[in-house]
Amino acid sequence: MVLVGGGPGDPGLLTVAGLEAVRTADVLVCDRLAPLAVLQQVRPGAEVIDVAKIPRGAFTSQERINELLVEHGRAGRRVVRLKGGDSFVFGRGGEEWQACAAAGVAVRVIPGVSSAIAGPALAGIPLTHRQLTQGFTVVSGHLPPGDPGSTLDWAALARANTTLVVLMGVATLPAITAALIAAGMAADTPAATVANAGLPSQRDVRGTVADIATRTAEAGLRPPAITVVGAVAGFRP
């Protein structure tokens, strides 16, 4: 099985190695955030399996995805798991590797361009800048601050003085920004949300940590979207 990170959605940002894997696959297991335009490169006779996970919509369980990878891998087929971004950055690639390894299916990894980096870059936001910040932190916003399942220390993040990149945080953005301000982050800290990065439908809004949740909602931005909080979000070349 080949685990391919497909990048943020633009087929031009899929690596050469990733494209070659797609072209030679017997079975391609892909989700909605993968660069679907490359499906035109799938060889005749190959099977394409859609395992989309749409927020509050169509859903294929991770357990079922693992079963598909193992089933086809054990049958001797060249299986390619094509994901958006990088498989190991909130892509559950590690879980799929573990499932295949436990079943005796060999795994090769082809890294992808993570949307956590590509999204801000495509909107003109450098995550680091020598005069502004010396690091960045990427977190999942899937669970809001205070949720029993959350392992994040939002107060520490507010004080870290690095760029904060929030993935999967559109719905929880009001709670996240409120927690950051409550923990001491300046309300006028620049912030930006970028949606559909790398696609013709890409849009972004700019503001501050105090109003970016409202601006994101008023602009009608929907997932997939990334929010950047920190001095670099106010960057103007």
Active-site residue identified among 10, 26, 50, 53: 53
Q: Which residues contact 15 (CB under 8 A, 6 or more apart)?
A: 5, 7, 110, 111, 112, 113
State the Cα–Cα distance between residues 26 and 69, nearest whole angstrom.
Answer: 12
Active site residue 188: no
53 is catalytic: yes
Residues 6+ apart with CB under 8 A from 182: none
- Quick check: 82 and 22 in contact, CB under 8 A? yes
Within 13 Å and on the Cβ side, how many CA atoms surround 31? Answer: 27
CB contact set of 121 (below 8 Å; sequence gap of 6+)? 127
Q: Which of 10, 31, 86, 204 is an active site residue?
A: 31
Instruction: Provide the annotated active-site residues.
Output: 31, 53
